[in-house]
Chain A
Amino acid sequence: SAVISQKPSRDICQRGTSLTIQCQVDSQVTMMFWYRQQPGQSLTLIATANQGSEATYESGFVIDKFPISRPNLTFSTLTVSNMSPEDSSIYLCSVGGPNTEAFFGQGTRLTVV
Chain B
Amino acid sequence: AQSVTQLDSQVPVFEEAPVELRCNYSSSVSVYLFWYVQYPNQGLQLLLKYLSGSTLVKGINGFEAEFNKSQTSFHLRKPSVHISDTAEYFCAVSEGFMGNDMRFGAGTRLTVKP
How many positions in chain B have a CB within 8 Å of any CB in the partner chain? 24
Spot the interface stretch: A40-48, A64-72, A81-89: A40-48
A103 to B104, CA, bound (A): 14
Q: For the complex, is B32 an interface residue (Cβ under 8 Å from A)?
A: yes
Select from chain B the residue with minimum beta-carbon distance to A50. B100
Would you call B99 an interface residue if the criterion is a C-beta within 8 Å of the partner chain's C-beta atoms? yes
Q: Which of A30, A42, A45, A104 contacts B43 (CB 8 A)?
A: A104
- CB distance B43 to A95 under 8 Å? no
> Which of B21-29, B44-52, B62-70 contacts its partner?
B44-52
Contact of B99 among A102, A106, A109 (CB under 8 A): A102
Main secondary structure of the interface of A (DSSP, over half): strand
Q: What is the bound-complex CA distance between A110 and B49, given in angstroms?
A: 30
Quick one: closest B residue to A48, CB to CB? Answer: B100
CA distance A45 to B97 in the complex (A): 15
User: Which B residues are CB-close (under 8 A) to A92?
Assistant: 43-44
B107: which A residues are within 8 A, CB to CB? 41-42
- 5 nearest A-B pairs in the assembled complex, by CB-CB distance: A96-B99, A96-B98, A102-B99, A104-B43, A104-B44
Chain A residues proximal to chain B, CB less than 8 Å = 1, 4, 6, 30-31, 33, 41-43, 45, 48, 92, 94-97, 99-107, 109
